[in-house]
Amino acid sequence: MTFPGARVMIMIPSEEHYFSRKCGELYQGILEFFFPRLCLSCDEKLLEGEEIFCSRCHNALLPVPLPQCPLCGAPLGNRVIEDDRCPDCPPKQVYFDRARAPLLYNGPIVEAVIALKFRQRIELAEFFARVLLYHVKMEMTREKFDCIVPVPLHYTRFYSRGFNQSEEIGRFLAGWMDMPMWTETLRRARHTKPQTRLAHADRLKNVRDAFQIFDAEPVKERHVLLLDDVFTTGSTLNACARALKEAGARKVTALTLCRAIESP
């Protein structure tokens, strides 16, 4: 808006500024010529407007189909719900109030998750957070969250990896949703084996009493958004939710990027 009598200053780029910008564009062009951006899944050269995946691989990302279990979010197909839970829900008592994920852990997204966790592709965290934000805005509009708590890593794994992937995703999500993320509230009290390497029956034992509350005050009477990358059996999320509930959390909703569906 221009007010009457106000002076409008027009900045004319100097020759030095023009030359610097052209050099930057040339440098970027040389980089892309010798080191083209490639699709994370198929290694095809990315076209303008494509990010992380080419259009073909991006279209191969599979959403978790409907209908879903009201508790754990697993696709139901033709299966029947009994006592408000499905066969894919964690065994015995479930401590989270609801679990949801936008994508199936299948196809191109598997490579992306592995790249973030084990190849230090930390820039993928922003892409994952955008997927989660879209899901929250489209599918979880009635939920009012108070804070985000990422599933923690044991300090030995954190220092060997250099970062916690759930925390990196959560930084973007917390900023966009304008809510605090508490990274010191929930801690992993003991080192556990990777859940993917264990049989279904052993996963519950692996994470039993593995999580403790360090500072309960931020989650008391709060609706906590518990964040992780992949829901497999739900044992880890359930153990975290139990600790949060025992610390006084009013409600715990588990949100993961992907949902792994095990073959029967």
Task: Give the mean pLDDT of 123-143.
Answer: 93
Quick one: pLDDT at residue 1?
Answer: 40
Percent over 90 (pLDDT), the chain: 53
Q: Select from 45, 94, 46 the least CA-distant residue to 73.
A: 94
Q: What is the DSSP letter of 154?
A: P
The class of domain 62-259 in CATH terms is alpha beta
Predicted TM-score of the model (pTM): 0.81
Helix, strand, coil percentages for the chain (3-state, nearest 5): 35, 15, 45
**What confidence tens digit (pLDDT) does each residue in 217-256 have?**
999 999 999 999 999 989 899 999 999 999 999 999 999 9
Percent over 70 (pLDDT), the chain: 78
Quick one: pLDDT at residue 119?
Answer: 87
**What confidence tens digit (pLDDT) does each residue in 60-117 have?**
999 999 999 999 999 998 888 888 889 889 887 899 999 999 999 999 999 999 999 9
Q: Count H helices, E strands: the chain?
A: 8, 7
Whether the pLDDT of residue 198 is over 50: the answer is no
Task: Provide the token pair at 101.
Answer: 């994920």
What's the CA gap between 199 and 175, in Å, rounded? 37
Task: Give the mean pLDDT of 147-161.
Answer: 89
Whether the pLDDT of residue 151 is over 90: the answer is yes
What's the CA gap between 224 and 247, in Å, rounded? 12
**What confidence tens digit (pLDDT) does each residue in 23-74 have?**
555 544 554 554 578 999 898 888 887 788 999 999 999 999 999 999 999 9
Q: What is the DSSP letter of 186?
A: E
What's the CA gap between 173 and 197, in Å, rounded? 29
What's the CA gap between 87 and 172, in Å, rounded? 33
